[in-house]
Amino acid sequence: MRLRLVTGNTHKLQEYGRILSGLGCMLPLDQLDADSVEECGVTYYQNAYKKAFLGMHSVPAALADDSIVLADDSGLELSLFENMPGVRSARFRYADLSEKPALSAFLSEHRVSATPARFICWIVAFLPGSGHCIACSGSVSGIVALESRGFQGFGYDPLFTPDGYSLTFSEMDSCLKDRISHRARAVQALWCALQKTLPLRP
């Protein structure tokens, strides 16, 4: 049995590998390219489902019975601004900037130095050879600040400090982030569901 993650983000692939290893998962993890998938859904679930569905159909028939194909979509939501950038987090644009620099410019323009926020992740996994899927989610609340801190992680990690901590995700040791992040919580839920559903063997 193999896990096949549909993503074009090598940082995400590495993060999945660390999280799954921390959970005691010994299944091999492969990458299925997602560069050609347009994330046009209005929810995280829709985008994750679309990527996982297309990934499932790209697996050769001879490998389908041994492949768990999964994909996720995640986003950062600012409650003060109607949960933007939300599902468009990876495609957020402002002042001719994108993603993290765009959000910093947005907060600066609105004279906001820090604001409540939460990260959300939805994962959809198609089970081997069945066409059935499992969906799990995870979230973490915290604060988004105007200034970036730290050099680890990716995306909005340098701006986000989870509740109960003084470090941003980018300042944290990866072992800590991989226990408390939105993606970690979604992966934990998925791994529990898979263990209950399938006779998993390394």
Which tens digits make up the pLDDT trace of 71-80?
999 999 999 9
Q: What is the structure's pLDDT at 162?
A: 98
Interval 131-154 mean pLDDT: 94
Length of the chain: 202
User: How much is the pLDDT for 197?
Assistant: 87
Query: Residue 33: what pLDDT?
Result: 83
List the structure tokens of 105: 């410019």
Residue range 2-197 forms a domain whose CATH class is alpha beta
Burial class (CB in 10 A: 0-12, 13-18, 19+), 107: buried
Q: Residue 110's Cα: distance from chain center in Å?
A: 27
Instruction: Output the DSSP codes for the chain.
Output: -EEEEE-S-HHHHHHHHHHHHHTT--S-EEEE--TT-----SSHHHHHHHHHHHHHHHS-GGGGGGEEEEEEEEEEEEGGGTTEEGGGGGG-EETTEEHHHHHHHHHHHTT-SEEEEEEEEEEEEEPTTT--EEEEEEEEEEEEESS---SSSSTTGGGEEETT-SS-TTTS-HHHHHHHSHHHHHHHHHHHHHHHHS----
Amino acid letter for position 35: D
Task: Give the pLDDT band of residue 155 (cuts 50, 70, 90).
Answer: very high
pLDDT digits (tens, 9 = 90+) for 18-68: 999 999 999 999 999 866 678 888 999 999 999 999 999 888 888 889 999
Q: What is the pLDDT of residue 37?
A: 78
Integer Rg of the chain from CA = 17
Taking only the tens place, the pLDDT of each residue in 80-89 is 999 999 999 9
Average pLDDT, the chain: 93
The pLDDT, as a whole number, for residue 200 is 66
pTM of the model: 0.93
Number of neighbouring beta carbons within 10 Å of residue 86: 17
Closest CA to 69 of 77, 61, 58, 78: 58
The catalytic residues are: 73
Per-residue pLDDT band for 201 (boundaries 50, 70, 90) equals low
Q: Residue 130's pLDDT is what?
A: 76
Where in the chain are the domains?
2-197
Distance in angstroms (rounded) separating the CA atoms of residues 42 and 60: 30
